Chain A
Amino acid sequence: MRLGIDGSASWSVLGSEPGAVAAARESGRSPIAQHDPPRTPPPGVFRAAGFDVRAELGARGTRSMDRATSLAIATTGRLLKAAGPDLDRARTAVILGTTTGSVGSIMDFTASTLSGAKPYLVNPGKFPVTVMNYAAGQCAIWHEITGPNVTVAGGRNAVALGLIYAARMLRSGRAEHVLCGASEEDSPQRAWLEWRARAACVESIPVAEGCVMFHLSRRIDPARPSLLAARTELCELDAPEEGITRCIRSAVRDAGVPPGEVWAVAGNGALDGLEEGENRALREVFGPAGSRRIRAHEAVGDTSAASAGFQLLALLELAAGSPESSGRPIVVTSIDRYGLASALVVRCGS
């Protein structure tokens, strides 16, 4: 499937500077969670640092907008800026991951039908915001991107599913470039529902706002990273290890890389209390010594649909500062609370 990763951009509790995730890991400093009960669940939430919608996008057209959408527009804007003016936006696709869109906007909207004098006295300007593809559609409108526009409601595995989608779209010639990633908002409803949906052992990780986007094409530049394989597998919920192992094995086999060459791995299992099975699977495939292990959520919190994207971003940022990573594969795994696992294999730039 090999695809070139031509660029990346992100916005999280660490801000939007390139290299922010790797830098936070090195400094070892933890961001401060905003705790504002009863609006937020006990561990608080991580809000995208320095993100002011009006400062970024202006006042026009942003009044009803949710934060997952404005973050996606701003982050996509940075990716486009880095791609340069020659990018043909009619041949560019947007594939944006989410859990279920702006659940804050959806539930506020529905609440207004329940509490108002008349059930239909809702804010019509908010209605489009409650539809799941609002963020992807707004990215297209804001940046005049007229290629295929897709919303992948894949939750924890949205980025992996988006990358599989992107690969096929490029191969089928439906686009020449794909801007692929995921965005999640900070809203009380999302924070609470995420927190309530978790296994008891992971209650302390803050739910976090964030967006991460990658620019993909079929142009392979050995100096830049490239996606070699992406795989998904449905695991047994009470014993996910075997399924995760199969998933990683098939991705590594697809990528055609010897497991011993892998420079580093990052996994999401901890976010749903499934780290133990994930660790066993990683040891099974990569040996007892394993390779170096990154946990991006320690730096950026639980960004749900964007979480695998942040794991990949963290690995790529670290690789950029580590000469020994040159040309070597890295692996990102995810496992969600429904038992769906994914594995990505990416070759670092040289």
Chain B
Amino acid sequence: MTPRRRVVVTGLGPVSCIGVGRDAFGKAILSGRSGQRPITSFDTTGFDHADACEIADFDPREWCEHVDPHSIGRAAGFAVAAAGLALADARLTPEDLRRQRVPIAVGTCDGEAAELDDLTARTMAGFNTVGIEEARRYSPVQLPLSIARDLRLASIEPVPIGTACAAGNYAIGYAFDAIRCGDADVALCGGAEALSRKLFSGFYRVGTIAADACRPFDAHRSGILTGEGAGILVLEDLEHARARDATVHAEVIGFGVGCDARHPVAPDSDSVAACIRLAHDDAGIEAGDVDLISAHGTGTPVNDVTEVAAIRQVFGDRPPPTISIKSMIGHAMGAASAIAAIAAIIALEARFLPPTINHIRTDPQCPIDCVPNVGRPAPLDIVQNNGLAFGGNNAVLLLRRPSSREEAPA
């Protein structure tokens, strides 16, 4: 096997309901801002409660340079914006990427579900009025392709990963492996998702939409708030980043991926624990080395109990602080773990624990320090980012603060 290269994160592109771009998003995450508001992107008549973490006033025309914004869906618009932000943050130009083959891995749960919502409403009486453009817009392959088209990249490896709520971590893991094994020097990766009526009504029906607020690990938690947005990261070979004098935000040191193969929707603590151990082994670290866990932490009764049980299986009675940014930005599904990875990197750089907001009282069945309501400084070195999905698809990512040697150019 070829020697493994080191992989670093040099660009962060968050598009979220509490902030767009690294600085705005970072401030919001560290100060614990809530993005909750009434849903406007679809008609919520008939639902008793219908808040979500929606992005207000997103206009793809502000972000699309070469792609026709009408030819793509809302999620692809988020992806294009996030990729542009990530590249600018990395101080890379599209021209820099044209010299190499670039993996573009974008995770998503439902692709362009909002497009399919509209198509459903339109076609209940038949498909005769559907035009060619609409019939092409819903395809999830458009997520990575829109990024490539907007940056005018041709030599690409575009991977739309449809692994539900862990898809963002999957995509980062994909790019990590591509660079680590020497197949690429730079990659774009992350996730994108748009709110949809389909997903909202499904979660509402099974009783997992929070009636008032999303309160992960809380004794009073009643579920998720659906969210949307995108998180795209620039991953780079460490030597490549050094050679161009890039700022390194973090190093990706390990990844673990596995499948419960037990239940279509319920998570399983033994297999989540096994997946966490896979990631630790991949990084060559011990559980005790982890300083912060950015949990999947959806705020549903089942997820949080199962996830904390898995964490305690691996970390014992004194697990590190374990936060959920879903308390602030809701559950952005296929984008969730990508945006959470960006938040984790911001925490590492700031050496500050972001809070889990809306917290009243920690559930005795979720015995962890979730950094309730107010963040605090902490000497962070390694952060773990969990992504768990329907289908028992788990993916865990480990990120390390760069040492001073890596921060300084060689």
Contact = CB atoms under 8 A, between A and B. Distances in A.
B116 to A, nearest CB: 6
**Contact-residue bracket for chain B:** 35 or more
Given A145-B261, A197-B132, A172 B154 contact: no
A32 interface: no
A153 B202 contact: no
B140 A100 contact: yes
A194 B138 CA distance: 11
B131 to A, nearest CB: 7
A286 interface: no
A137 B259 contact: yes
A153 B140 contact: yes
Interface string A157-179: 10001001100110111100000
B197 A154 contact: no
Interface string A321-350: 000000000000000111110000000000
Contact of A106 (B136, B142, B198, B265): B198
14 contacts: A41-B127, A106-B113, A107-B116, A107-B120, A111-B120, A120-B46, A149-B393, A152-B162, A153-B161, A153-B162, A193-B130, A197-B135, A197-B136, A234-B154
A130 B191 CA distance: 19
Interface of A: 38, 41, 94, 98-101, 103, 106-107, 109-111, 113-115, 118-122, 124, 127-128, 130-134, 136-138, 140-141, 143-155, 157, 161, 164-165, 168-169, 171-174, 189, 192-194, 196-198, 232-235, 243, 246, 336-340
Given A124-B206, A137-B391, A140-B391, A113 B170 contact: no
A234 B206 contact: no
Nearest to A243: B154
A98 B391 CA distance: 16
Contact of A152 (B110, B154, B159, B183): B159
B111 interface: yes
Contacts of A164: 157, 159
A198 B124 CA distance: 21
B205 A120 contact: yes
B157 A131 contact: no
A336 B262 CA distance: 35
B277 to A, nearest CB: 13
Interface in B314-349: none
Contacts of B163: 132-133, 136, 149-151
A192 B47 CA distance: 31
Contacts of B124: 111, 114-115
Nearest to B141: A155
Interface SS of B by simple majority = mixed
B177 A169 contact: yes
B156 A232 contact: yes
A154 B159 contact: yes
Contacts of B44: 119
A161 B149 CA distance: 18
Contact of A131 (B116, B164, B204): B164
Contacts of B178: 168
A339 B262 CA distance: 39
Interface in B140-155: 140-142, 145, 148-149, 153-155
Contacts of B154: 233-235, 243, 246
B284 interface: no
Given A107-B119, A149-B392, A338-B142, 17 more contacts: A38-B126, A106-B113, A127-B206, A131-B164, A133-B162, A151-B162, A153-B161, A168-B177, A172-B181, A192-B123, A193-B119, A196-B134, A234-B158, A338-B139, A338-B145, A340-B141, A340-B158
A149 B130 contact: no
B109 A131 contact: yes
Contacts of A110: 116-117, 120-121, 197-198, 201
B143 to A, nearest CB: 8
Contact of A147 (B153, B183, B258, B265): B258
A133 B177 contact: no
